Amino acid sequence: MKSSFRKSFLWILIALLIVFAGSVLFESTSRIKQAKAEANFLIGISQPNLNEPRQIVMNNEIRKEAEKHSNVKLIFTDAAENSEKQIHDVQKLMEYGIDLLIISLNDSEKLTPIVKEAYKTIPVIVLGRGVTGYDYTMFIGSDNLSIGKIAGKLASDLLAGTAAEIVEIKGAMSSTSEEETSRGFRDYVTRSPSIQIKQEIDGSWQRDKAEDELKRILPFYPEVRLVFAHSDAMALGAYRAITSWGLSNVQIIGIDGLDTVNGGFDLVKQKILSGSVTSPTGGRESIQYAIDILNGEKVIPKKIILRSHLIANQHEPLNGPDRQPYMMKLDTAGPDKADPRRKIKLGVVIVGSESSWRAANTESIKTAAEQEQDIELFMQYAEGSQDKEIEMIRSLIRQKVDVIVFTPIVETGWDEVLEEARKAGIPVILTDRKVKVEDDSLWTTFIGSDFIEEGRRAARWLLERYANRGGVTEIVELQGTAGSAPAIERRQGFEEVLANNSSFHVAASEIGDFTYDSGFQLMNKVIKDGVMPQVVFAHNDDMALGAIKAMEQAGMKPGKDIVVMSVDATKLAFQAMIAGKLNLSVECNPLLGPQIVKAVKDLAAAKEIPVNIITSEGIFSAETAKRDIAMRKY
């Protein structure tokens, strides 16, 4: 009864706050019509509920940011944790003529169709949980794997290699985001053989349920020394369960880090939790980007992944008596604010000139930087060599540039030089490709494409058109540079979608280097080996064009007898599609210059920026190539 009363009170409080802020709840047709008449932009906010602490904070962030814009009105809806009701809510919002939809999903799978339907007519920003596919304007969320890793490192530090058992409390046992968080946590803590995750329980995001479930199992696990809960509310429930059993030697880690009463920051300050990892709601950012979208800004990312921080204790040892909570800040370096005439020194290392995509990417960065009067550009070319890239980064460190931007030719081997940049106080932006390092804080942000999604989109297109052709479809895959993020992740996404369809078989997967000559040579090898594919999937346009040449010399008809797909969507690919030799090109947008320059200027101004900024991209087929080529800039 008390729990129901508290929920009702919170709901009423939120309603009053929203109405007072000039927003409206989904309850009055006349109020909505009035809001539509008074504002240039009417934004619908579809929420799974309006009473959880995280949703309360998110809504307050949305409301406060919207208050900065007198021409914006908001409509909030509450699905009461019911997916069918949230579908209905979105349909009603559409009927009321909203200009943009911001939606936090109750269930990703069930809500994907209505998001796709809304996206046909208005922009849609998805918060938190993602949808299947690419039918939305923008996604704002957190890096769940990284959150798990941060929590895992803290757990390992707290347990300090002692023999210990861990209980993990999840909010939703089958959620993809939950599995990513869990995987990041487990990957870290299981490095120590003395630490074992003995049990995972379902807390359903509820404090009381987490408390009851942990109370039930604690007698069976007397060696438990740490509980990792996927929300601070469940972590508080764990604390109550542990206290009820009279235990005092169990550490507790949560997620969310909300700066509210009984939020993660408060609980760490009270020494109830040993730590919490922030999971930003994205509420503030959703309105900022919504305004940009509605105002027709040209450079809008497809996805942004917000940075998470550890809230823990400043002093060592972590379990000492004088510990104080702190939030780790992003290390930034920028121009001397005492001299506003001083330009931002931007160092850029270009990996090479292996393709027409790279040429367009290089020119985009150069043009964007040179257009800014307050940026001094230092650009160097590594000619496809990792050793030269490392040498050039060190040269930029010696020149004391403010920010370094580079494209890692491969994923590994960067720890030492990135540590040198961090010690020098120089933030590093990765563009086009990512790195694999032990400490992800060695780099500041990644700006580029979602290579996994590019592979998925190629596979989905193939399935949609050829899944019912009968028999087994033999596929030849031409990979990019070995060890590079695009090659690894495009293959991963492609195989992920085809994995459950036995009518498609990758007969050969050859490793190249993203060049025309590589594509030509690899396809010749495949043909000589006697492999006769129905489909060729090349990891970039240049390799696809080389493969087309090899197939034509062998008397084959690429684009007709053999389906040819690639990634990049350059003008050369469009010309091949118009000629009927290439069937599909998934866009990998090289025009990253404006987004890079914006991030550089934000860093120089000591602003925190997202950890991942994923550019918006399309997909193009031979059927529409003649129409679409006029819009290509590269």
51, 95: one domain: yes
pLDDT at position 35, please?
A: 59
Least confident of 42-56, 303-317, 359-373, 553-567: 303-317
**Token pair of 115, please?**
């998001």
Tell me how far the alpha carbon of residue 570 is from its chain's centroid: 25
pLDDT of residue 28: 55
User: What is the mean pLDDT of the segment spanning 567-594?
Assistant: 96
Greater pLDDT, 228 or 319: 228
pLDDT at 340: 60
What proportion of the chain, given as a percentage, has pLDDT over 90? 73
Asked if residue 261 and residue 399 are part of one domain, the reply reads no
Please report how the helices 356-370 and 541-553 are oriented relative to each other, as an axis angle in degrees rounded to 10: 160
Percent above pLDDT 70 for the chain: 89
Q: Is the dihedral of CA 487, 489, 494, 500 positive or negative?
A: positive
- Helices 485-498 and 451-466 sit at what angle, rounded to 10 degrees? 30
Give the sheet arrangement for strand 275-278, strand by strand: 195-202, 164-170, 224-229, 251-256, 275-278, 310-313, 325-327
* Residue of 577 and 19 predicted with greater confidence: 577
Alpha carbon distance 415, 396 (integer Å): 16
The gap between the terminal CA atoms of the chain, to the nearest Å, is 64
- Whether the per-residue pLDDT at 324 is higher than 60: the answer is no
> 455 and 445 in one domain?
no
Instruction: Give the H/E segment covering residue 398.
Output: helix 386-398
Question: Do the domain assignments include residue 337?
Answer: no
pLDDT band, residue 341 (cuts 50/70/90): low
Residue 2: what pLDDT?
39
Q: Which two tokens stand for residue 379?
A: 């650009």
Let me know if residue 298 belongs to a domain.
no
**Position 319 pLDDT exceeds 70:** no
| Res 339 pLDDT > 70 | no
Q: Is the pLDDT of residue 330 over 50?
A: no
Q: Is residue 158 part of a domain?
A: yes
Q: Which domain holds residue 67?
A: 2-136
For residue 569, give the nearest of 620, 614, 624 by alpha carbon. 620
> φ, ψ for residue 278 (rounded to 5)?
-70, 140
Whether 333 maps to a domain, the answer reads: no
294: in domain: no
Beta pairing class for 195-202 and 224-229: unpaired
Would 69 be classed as within a structural domain? yes
- pLDDT of amino acid 129: 84
Residue 528: inside a domain, yes or no? yes
Helix (H) or strand (E) segment spanning residue 233: helix 232-244
Q: Round to whole Å and give the CA distance between 207 and 371.
A: 53
Query: Is there a single domain that holds both residue 456 and residue 561?
Result: yes
Q: If you average pLDDT over residues 90-112, what whole number do you get?
A: 94
Domain count, the chain: 4
Q: Is the pLDDT of residue 338 over 50?
A: no
Here the CATH number for the domain that contains residue 84 is: 3.40.50.2300
Average pLDDT, the chain: 88
Percent of residues in the chain assigned helix, strand, coil, to nearest 5:
40, 20, 35
What DSSP letter does each residue of 100-140 carry, written as one string? EEEEE-S-HHHHHHHHHHHHTTS-EEEESS--SSS-SSEEE
Give 10 or 272, the one with higher predicted confidence.
Answer: 272
Q: With bands split at pLDDT 50, 70 and 90, how would you rate the model's confidence at 511?
A: very high
Of 541, 544, 564, 547, give the one whose Cα is nearest residue 622.
564
**Reported confidence tier of residue 19, pLDDT bands at 50, 70, 90:** very low
In the predicted model, is pLDDT for residue 395 greater than 80?
A: yes
Residue 293, pLDDT score: 96
